[in-house]
Amino acid sequence: MPKLKNDTEHSIEIKKSRFITYLHRTDSEEEAKEFLRLVKKEHPDASHHCTAMIIGNTVRSSDDGEPAGTAGHPMLDVLAGSHMEDILAVVVRYFGGTLLGKGGLVRAYSSSVQEALQNAQLVEVRTLMRWRIVFDYSAIGRIDQFFRAGRIEVLSRQYESDVIYEFCSRENMEAELNELTSGNILIEYLGEFTQESLMPFGG
């Protein structure tokens, strides 16, 4: 699931109304509220400060005075449609004097968040299993080939009286490694390993 790498700010203007979008990565609703407070402090004269958040199992939105369903929910739809998680979106609107209508508001708030996401750096966050294996030098060729074929990342290699590798994988590889070495391998599970990698929007 993608997350923001860094906070992002993006501005668009529609019929003289200015929409400023802030995207903020957070895993805490309380911290999200604090970020919103800071945005409101920075834009005290804005007409609206509309929000959408997906933080763990918390999914919420607010129209902040705009007609019901025309701001927060469309913003949330964009975040959910992009499969984002641990994110708060705030769109600050400065009213330009021209009414946009309900459809126009939906398009404006959706576009604001969509464009901000397109300008944001996103990372894919994966939770992997981390392992240590100890094996004889005679098995190096087979094990290296096994890892290359499966595109499994080896985090460290040590060459002592035996060979010691640490690696991470999505799946439990114990059965395959035991079969590969006829059971002549020591396998130790070290816990979860979180990895982030940059990804393109929509990737």
CATH number at residue 10: 3.30.230.30
Q: Is residue 201 part of a domain?
A: no
The span from the CA of 166 to the CA of 132, in Å, is 4
Q: Are residues 115 and 49 in the same domain?
A: yes
Q: Are residues 8 and 100 in the same domain?
A: yes
Give residue 130's domain range.
Answer: 126-195
Residue 12 bridge partners (DSSP): 19
At position 53, the amino acid (one-letter code) is: M
Q: Is residue 93 part of a domain?
A: yes
- 107 φ/ψ angles, rounded to the nearest 5 degrees: -65, -40
Q: Which whole number is the average pLDDT over 67-82?
A: 97
Q: Is residue 203 part of a domain?
A: no
Last residue of a domain, one of 120, 142, 166: 120
By three-state DSSP, how is residue 107 classified? Answer: helix
Q: Is residue 30 part of a domain?
A: yes
Q: Which whole number is the average pLDDT over 113-131?
A: 92
Phi/psi region, residue 56 (left: phi>0; alpha: psi -120 to 50; beta: rest), is left
Per-residue pLDDT tens over the stretch 134-186: 999 999 999 999 999 998 989 999 999 999 999 999 889 999 999 999 999 99
Residue 201, pLDDT above cutoff 60: no
How far from 158 is each of 18, 147, 148, 162, 176, CA to CA, in Å? 58, 16, 18, 8, 21
Q: How high does pLDDT run on average in the chain? A: 94
The pLDDT value recorded for residue 200 is 58
In which band, very low, low, confident or very high, does the pLDDT at 202 lie, cut at 50, 70 and 90? very low
Number of domain units in the chain: 2
Q: Is residue 200 part of a domain?
A: no
Q: Are residues 110 and 134 in the same domain?
A: no
Per-residue pLDDT tens over the stretch 82-103: 999 999 999 999 999 999 999 9
Last residue of a domain, one of 89, 120, 151: 120
How far from 99 is each of 43, 96, 171, CA to CA, in Å? 21, 8, 54
Q: Are residues 88 and 163 in the same domain?
A: no
Q: Are residues 170 and 103 in the same domain?
A: no
**31: enclosing H helix or E strand:** helix 29-42
Q: Is residue 24 part of a domain?
A: yes
The pLDDT value recorded for residue 113 is 98
Alpha helix ranges (H) inside 43-191:
72-81, 101-119, 140-150, 174-180
Strand segments, DSSP code E, in 15-170 are 17-25, 48-55, 58-62, 87-94, 122-135, 153-159, 163-169
pTM reported for the whole predicted model: 0.73
How far from 11 is each of 92, 114, 181, CA to CA, in Å? 9, 11, 58
Last residue of a domain, one of 74, 89, 120: 120
Q: Is residue 202 part of a domain?
A: no
Residue 2, pLDDT above cutoff 90: no
The pLDDT value recorded for residue 124 is 85
Q: Are residues 108 and 143 in the same domain?
A: no
At position 166, the amino acid (one-letter code) is: E
Residues 6+ apart with CB under 8 A from 127: 192, 193, 194
